[in-house]
Chains A and B, each alone.
Chain A
Amino acid sequence: MKSRAMFSRRWMPLILAAPQLAIVFLFFLWPACKAIGWSVYLVRPFGNGSVFVGLENYRRILSDESFYASLQATFIFTASSVGMAIVIALVLAGCTELNLRGARFFRHAFIWPYAIAAAVLGVIFKFAMNPVVGAMSFLNDIIPGSWAPYINSSEAMCMLIAAFAWTQVPFNFAIFAAALQSVPDDYLAAAAIDGAGPIRRFVDIQLPLIVPFIFFAAVVNVIEAFTHSFGLVDTLTQGGPGRATNILVYQIFSDGFVGMDLSRSSTLSVIMMICIALLTMLQFRFFGARTRYGK
């Protein structure tokens, strides 16, 4: 008789998984349920006497033009920063595969910046982007007033995108560097013998073989951009100038934690949850399909 690695009773695996399930429920599902609950109430911060309003909070937000502006800013921010983070990480990872001098060192060095917290990076960037003493101030020496991210909304958005991409590059680099190591050397050697240069080899052999990893990095980056970018926004632009960089997650943070408007904040969270779910589904549908090759 064939021995099977299965538990004899149905509840045994559940008991073994219970601690994990409890943690997931307590720290992930319960807050999410609470947010959905609060989104149908007008919540008073201290709780004494909240009013049930049904879908009124959703109606209010969905009929507010500033919500759509914020949504647009969120998509611009997400698409640009994720694209930038992936391209830069790919280029860096591709270069470390070229067996150049110092490649081993850089393979480690490019991962270090991942340890820097977004808020700290925000402060550093704020200094680096200062219009008087920062790295970009030379623009103001050429044409005065040409670098003013505190008043020019597209410059502010570019600054934010660059800063966020910077936080994601090390993670992507680690993934891509590891993925490139798994590409068989024989393919590359054969291509080299056929006369393919490094760029040709990268585009035709390495890139197609690591597409699943790029897809994975993109999903993680998008979720990060949606959920974890508020520290950066808070230190760099506070959603300004005007409301140019007031992306959804920052609105949730500033409405709920600073403004004490827990209902609006919860409603926005639920909307954002739906957005992320939809986006991830789309990513799986369109990109996921292409990654199932050779099976």
Chain B
Amino acid sequence: MLRLGLLCALTLAWPASKAASFDFWYAHTGGPIADAIKSLCDGFNASQRRHRVRCTSPGTYEQTMQKTIAAYRAGKQPAVVEIYDVGTLDMMLSGAVYPVFQLMQEANQADDPVDWQDYIDAVRSYYATSAGNLYSLPFNISTAALYTNTAQLAAAGVTTAPQTWEAFQAAAEKLKAAGQSCPAVSDYNPWIMLEQIAAVQGAPLATQNNGHGGLNAKYVFNTGMPLRFMEDVMRWRQQRLLIDAAATRTGSQTLAFANGECAMAIDATSAWSAIRTSGIANVGVSPIPAYAGTLRRNSVPGGASLWVMKGYDTQVYAAVAAFFSYLRQPSSQIAFARRTGYVPVTREAVRVLQQNGAADSLAPALVGISSMSLPGNAYSPGARLGFSTQFRHAWREEVENAFAGRQSMKSALDRAKSRGDILLRRFEETYAGATLP
């Protein structure tokens, strides 16, 4: 009787905190990243007894997005889903999500509210609305970095990692002269070769603040710094200072660096887990270079964020909020960064990290943080542009045609711009009447 009374009292006292379980779909299959996410799920389930998260992976980033759409249309969506960076705009305009800032506000009324300003600026602005509110929870955040094989560089007489593209070229020339057949490697991923370069140089990709100002943006990357860089890339490629990833033994830029075939690579900080597991020694990680004499701005985040889907009750959302609070803890963020190369996203986590004296395994994360923490300009939040996967395809096709000698780099970027603009107009028409939050 006493027990029953106690139970009633408890139930009355905390009506919102009833036990709930929910599904979380993550977008990694196998490997250290998937393992690290599973550990976070287990950690949350072990840390408290009220809520349970069921973590499953429907496949890669693309597959997770497709299956989320199919599930939503069938009314079977998960409560939480990991969606990659290029899906951000589609998710924001979908009408199918429960904005994270609202969720945390409504679920955490009694607890201390989330300090969203504590998020690293570049990360927050990439996922925030024009009013500065976060629609999704930044989760696995990565940015571009320069990986160098310090032993090979030292053997060629280069003692410091290149800070500028001029130094990068000089280092590659020395490496080549020293007999290195692959001084630097690239797979010409536009996320790095276009978006990161433009951000670091503070150059616009598109009007309307890279699309953050509205759906009527137009691409403008076919001049200025992005053009200068790609023309340099074309020249480096011809001089065999920069080697195509497809022309290496493994066909992958990460592995070509990790197996020692190539001395330098511009890759994501999240490539770290693959590089580390290969067992290579003497790896240096530094921010991606910028042109000499230019002001260096922040690099932009990539990776994915966690979206909360509509269609559940407050108990489930309370459980989701508890899960998110767990993920936001510095210890969770740092454990995740250590295993994957992803970057901690709050200043608090960064402070804890720096106090504890960062281990080697956190080198890429630290470089990523400092590279993303630099002051930016209007174009620093990165791209918010429709049909960006198709656009990246178009950019790559045109650039490949330039490499094959069928057109100049200028005309490649001009054509990529006009094809991109057609995609943007079509996206605008698809979302006619909708406004960016």
Give Cα A148 to B433, complex, Å. Answer: 47
| Min distance, Cβ A231 to any Cβ of chain B, angstroms | 13
Does A42 sit within 8 A of B, measured CB to CB? yes
Q: Which residue of A lies closest to B246 (CB)?
A: A150
Chain B residues near A132 (CB, 8 Å)? 247-249
| Min distance, Cβ B75 to any Cβ of chain A, angstroms | 11
Does A30 sit within 8 A of B, measured CB to CB? no
| Min distance, Cβ A146 to any Cβ of chain B, angstroms | 12
Give Cα A243 to B415, complex, Å. Answer: 13
Which listed residue (A44, A130, A133, A241) contacts B400, Cβ 8 A?
A: A241
Give Cα A261 to B69, complex, Å. Answer: 12
Q: What's the interface size class on A, roughly?
A: 35 or more
How many cross-chain pairs have Cβ atoms below 8 Å apart between A and B?
A: 93
CB contact list, B392-431 vs A, under 8 A: 393, 396-398, 400-401, 403-404, 406, 426, 429-431
Chain B residues near A150 (CB, 8 Å)? 244, 246-247
Which listed residue (B94, B244, B248, B390) contacts A151, Cβ 8 A?
A: B244
Q: Is the CB of A254 within 8 A of B404?
A: no
Chain B residues near A103 (CB, 8 Å)? none
Chain A residues near B396 (CB, 8 Å)? 240
Q: Is the CB of A260 within 8 A of B389?
A: yes
Q: Is the CB of B66 within 8 A of A257?
A: yes
Q: Is the CB of A45 within 8 A of B69?
A: yes
Does B387 sit within 8 A of A, measured CB to CB? yes
Does B177 sit within 8 A of A, measured CB to CB? no
CB contact list, B352-406 vs A, under 8 A: 387, 389-390, 393, 396-398, 400-401, 403-404, 406
Q: Is the CB of B390 within 8 A of A131?
A: no
Does A152 sit within 8 A of B, measured CB to CB? yes
Does A170 sit within 8 A of B, measured CB to CB? no
Chain B residues near A259 (CB, 8 Å)? 387, 389-390, 393
Does A48 sit within 8 A of B, measured CB to CB? yes
Give Cα A261 to B397, complex, Å. Answer: 18
Does A239 sit within 8 A of B, measured CB to CB? yes
Q: Is the CB of B393 within 8 A of A260?
A: no
Does A46 sit within 8 A of B, measured CB to CB? yes
Q: Which residue of A lies closest to B392 (CB)?
A: A259
Does A242 sit within 8 A of B, measured CB to CB? yes
Give Cα A47 to B382, complex, Å. Answer: 27
With A46-B96, A255-B390, A259-B387 already in contact, the answer to whether A151 and B400 are too (CB < 8 A) is yes
Does A172 sit within 8 A of B, measured CB to CB? no
Q: Is the CB of B404 within 8 A of A241?
A: yes
Does B43 sit within 8 A of A, measured CB to CB? no
Which listed residue (A42, A48, A53, A241) contacts B94, Cβ 8 A?
A: A48
Give Cα A53 to B244, complex, Å. Answer: 43
Per-position binary interface string of chain B over residues 273-284, scored 1 when its CB falls under 8 Å from any chain A CB and 0 otherwise: 000000000000
Q: Is the CB of A44 within 8 A of B390?
A: no
With A126-B251, A131-B246 already in contact, the answer to whether A257 and B400 are too (CB < 8 A) is no
Q: Which residue of B lies closest to A43 (CB)?
A: B430
Q: Is the CB of A130 within 8 A of B249?
A: yes
Q: Which residue of B lies closest to A240 (CB)?
A: B400
Does A51 sit within 8 A of B, measured CB to CB? yes
Which listed residue (A46, A239, A246) contacts B69, Cβ 8 A?
A: A46
With A42-B429, A242-B397, A258-B389 already in contact, the answer to whether A148 and B247 are too (CB < 8 A) is yes
Q: Is the CB of A46 within 8 A of B73?
A: yes
Give Cα A133 to B256, complex, Å. Answer: 13
Does A153 sit within 8 A of B, measured CB to CB? yes
Does A49 sit within 8 A of B, measured CB to CB? yes
With A44-B94, A46-B96 already in contact, the answer to whether A260 and B403 are too (CB < 8 A) is no
Q: Which residue of A lies closest to B404 (CB)?
A: A151
Give Cα A10 to B246, complex, Å. Answer: 64
Chain A residues near B42 (CB, 8 Å)? none
Give Cα A220 to B62, complex, Å. Answer: 30
Per-position binary interface string of chain B over residues 230-258, scored 1 when its CB falls under 8 Å from any chain A CB and 0 otherwise: 00000000000000101111010000000
Does B72 sit within 8 A of A, measured CB to CB? yes
Q: Which residue of A lies closest to B65 (CB)?
A: A260
Chain A residues near B62 (CB, 8 Å)? 257-258
Which listed residue (A49, A239, A254) contacts B433, Cβ 8 A?
A: A49
Q: Is the CB of B72 within 8 A of A46?
A: yes
Chain B residues near A148 (CB, 8 Å)? 246-247
Which listed residue (B248, B404, B426) contacts A153, Cβ 8 A?
A: B404
Does A263 sit within 8 A of B, measured CB to CB? yes
Chain A residues near B87 (CB, 8 Å)? 260
Which listed residue (B65, B72, B387, B404) contacts A261, Cβ 8 A?
A: B387
Chain A residues near B110 (CB, 8 Å)? none
Q: Is the CB of B248 within 8 A of A51?
A: no
Which listed residue (B96, B247, B432) contacts A51, Cβ 8 A?
A: B432
Which listed residue (B95, B397, B406) contacts A46, Cβ 8 A?
A: B95
Give Cα A105 to B434, complex, Å. Answer: 65
Does B178 sit within 8 A of A, measured CB to CB? no
Q: Which residue of A lies closest to B69 (CB)?
A: A45
With A48-B96, A126-B251, A151-B244 already in contact, the answer to whether A239 and B403 are too (CB < 8 A) is no
Q: Which residue of B lies closest to A263 (CB)?
A: B430
Q: Which residue of B lies closest to A56 (CB)?
A: B429
Give Cα A171 to B98, complex, Å. Answer: 50
| Min distance, Cβ B222 to any Cβ of chain A, angstroms | 18
Q: Is the CB of A260 within 8 A of B387?
A: yes
Give Cα A255 to B389, complex, Å. Answer: 9
| Min distance, Cβ A25 to any Cβ of chain B, angstroms | 18
Q: Is the CB of A44 within 8 A of B93?
A: yes
Chain A residues near B244 (CB, 8 Å)? 150-151
Per-position binary interface string of chain A over residues 125-167, scored 1 when its CB falls under 8 Å from any chain B CB and 0 otherwise: 0100011110000000000000010111100000000000000
Chain B residues near A53 (CB, 8 Å)? 429
Residues of B within 8 A of A (CB): 62, 65-66, 69, 72-73, 87, 90, 93-96, 244, 246-249, 251, 387, 389-390, 393, 396-398, 400-401, 403-404, 406, 426, 429-434
Taking A45-B69, A47-B72, A150-B246 as known contacts, 19 extra A-B pairs with beta carbons closer than 8 A to each other, sorted by chain A number, are: A42-B429, A46-B69, A46-B73, A46-B96, A51-B432, A132-B249, A133-B249, A150-B244, A150-B247, A151-B400, A241-B401, A241-B404, A243-B397, A246-B397, A254-B389, A258-B62, A258-B389, A260-B387, A261-B426
Residues of A within 8 A of B (CB): 42-49, 51, 53, 60, 126, 130-133, 148, 150-153, 239-243, 246, 254-255, 257-261, 263
